[in-house]
Amino acid sequence: MLGPPQVCAILRPGTTRADVEAAAAGLEFVHVETYPGDDNKVGYEQLWARPNATTPTAAVNYVESPLAGSHYLIVRGIDSPRTVAEFAGRLPLFTQDQLLDAALHATAHDDQVQAINRLAIGFVEHDAAVVTVIRLYATEAANPLLREAAVNAMGFRAWPAFRPILEHIVAGDPAENVRQRASLLLAHWPRS
């Protein structure tokens, strides 16, 4: 079984499917399946596995997400940190520090939305700095569309720390779209 540990690695813009395929093949991964997506809400995805004699030691999903506006790798298995390091030697990946820095310094709306989505995807484990940055976007941004995007980013990681933020937004955000989005997420949010 390839449950945790899991690592998500965000690819830098300009990285192509062919680049990912070459890197995976060069690291002795075998292509298992392709899910074509719909180029709208459902992303394109490839599944790769590195088998040993009896069970896979790592699996990698390459995802092109139209909703997140990013391409990334989801790496699972007992070798996931090492596997990410191997891919980083062959593909341009963002580090977690670079993801945080981009979210803190983005100024244009589209760059901010993309930065918070990458941040949410790129951190699998709870991180207080990520919670703080996304909370600031969700509660302090002047543009309600940006606040709604930050609420959506919380949905990538249903961390318990996001629940009180969502409850605060439902109770008092001035924009109906933001309150509705937070309410919708809370209706499906796991109880801690």
Structure tokens at 143: 């543009």
Mean pLDDT of the chain: 91
Euclidean distance between the first and the last CA atom of the chain, given in angstroms as a whole number: 25
Tokens of 56: 């896979």
Cα 38-44-45 angle, rounded to 5 deg: 145
What are the backbone angles phi and psi of residue 180, rounded to the nearest 5°?
Answer: -65, -45
Least confident of 51-60, 70-79, 124-133, 170-179: 51-60
Report domain extents, the chain.
6-88, 96-187
Helix/strand/coil percentages in the chain, nearest 5: 45, 20, 35
C-beta separation of 146 from 137 below 8 A = yes
> What would the CATH number be for the domain defined by 96-187?
1.25.10
| pLDDT tens readout for residues 144-188 | 999 999 999 999 988 999 999 999 999 999 999 999 999 999 998
pLDDT at 88: 96
pLDDT confidence of 81, banded at 50, 70, 90? Answer: confident
- For residue range 10-51, what is the model confidence (pLDDT) as tens digits? 999 999 999 999 999 999 999 999 999 887 778 899 999 987
Q: Do domains 6-88 and 96-187 have the same CATH topology?
A: no
Q: Which one-letter DSSP state was computed for residue 67?
A: T
- For the stretch 85-91, contacts whose Cβ atoms lie closer than 8 Å and that sit 24 or more positions apart, written own/partner, are 86/27, 87/9, 87/23, 87/27, 87/60, 88/9, 90/22, 90/23, 90/26, 90/27, 91/11, 91/15, 91/19, 91/20, 91/23
CATH topology of domain 6-88: TATA-Binding Protein (3.30.310)
